[in-house]
Amino acid sequence: MAGIVHIFHAGRRGYRQRVHTERPKPLQQYTTEELYNRFPFGLDDINYIADLVRPQLQCRTLRSHALTVEEQILIALRFYACGTFYEVIADSMGVHRTTVGEVVTAVSDALARLLDHFVTFPTDGQIAKVKQNFFLLGDMPNTIGVIDCTHVHIQAPRQREWEYVNRKGRHSINVQLVGDADLAITNCVARWPGSVHDARIFRESRLFTEFQTNRPDGVILADSAYPLLPWVMTPFPMANTPSQMRYNIAHGRTRCAIERLNGVLKRRFACLNYLRVEPQGACQITLACIVLHNIAVHRRVPLSDIDDPPEPLAPADDLGPPMDFPLNERLSGGARRDAIVCNYF
């Protein structure tokens, strides 16, 4: 049985910094264009991020060559933005290769600690606005989220390598994301090997446990790899009526928000296309990028291609959802979907 990647946080004292005879270019010496092209955040955004993680990254040594928090943030952001080898980042930032690895680990750990603060599901007071935004996007009523998994490819792990081989034959972490119409991430799970089915990750998630017990005021849209439940709406495998066809069209048009979110996330943080680290580190880096993505969304950080058409909808997992979801839940989910079709389409 595939295992879970257990994430361990470094101590609050962080890592022991090396003495540096060369320094990264000071933040204030970058032009606005250079900042967005290289990191990709503006000056105020980078200072905001630095202040968030300062308690974890502030150096407690009196050595004059220790990296400042701002310098650590620049190094990590540069890695997240391009995802190249540590040696390349080190050459461009004026530090040692080992320092880049240490900084990326420390910054990723500090940002991952902020996950519960920046990745939150809409509250009761926000639900109405979320539904309105989704309806404006694709004419799908009562929608409070869209869900899908995306694979973060990694190098072959040294241990239990076979668990990380996904159905396309590549090593990866399978990351579950729930998003809203504004492309903010409202829930995530980043700890499962690539061989694990989307539906199993969903079934084992806290989101599933919570919403099975306390039904949300609305529905989450998913592809056919997920179960049809009273609060999870999937498309009809075959639309037999015009109303079902209209439902499927609205469902696909609305659900494309999660595909677009995945595309924006990996364009903004190209490191998520391939990480040359062990699974534990890959999970931490992924969580850090998710936090940074939501910071960028909330602070309206520009991305040059954010208004591009969404990527084509990814096909559902060919294996289909496991059939261990309760039959009565699937039947009541079908009844809920039929009611939506009858009342709105």
- What digits encode the pLDDT tens for the residues 234-253? 999 999 999 999 999 999 99
Query: Quick one: pLDDT at residue 11?
Result: 44
Residue closest to 48 by CA, chosen among 306, 303, 301, 304: 301
Is 147 in contact with 222 (CB distance < 8 Å)? yes
The Cβ of residue 328 has, within 10 Å, a number of other Cβ atoms equal to 8
pLDDT for 322: 47
Low-confidence ranges of the chain (pLDDT < 70): 1-22, 59-65, 304-331
- Looking at residue 329, what is its pLDDT? 54
pTM listed for this prediction: 0.86
pLDDT at position 37: 84
User: Which distant-in-sequence residues (6+ apart) come within 8 Å of 105 by Cβ?
Assistant: 10, 15, 281, 284
Of the candidates 267, 186, 194, 191, the one whose C-alpha atom is nearest the C-alpha of residue 221 is: 186
What's the pLDDT at 65?
Answer: 59
Cβ(231)–Cβ(219) under 8 Å?
yes
Residue 2 has a pLDDT of 53
Q: What is the pLDDT of residue 203?
A: 94
* Helical ranges in the chain per DSSP H: 32-38, 43-57, 69-82, 86-93, 97-112, 115-118, 124-138, 198-203, 206-213, 242-268, 279-298, 327-344
- For 330, other C-beta atoms within 10 Å of its C-beta total 16
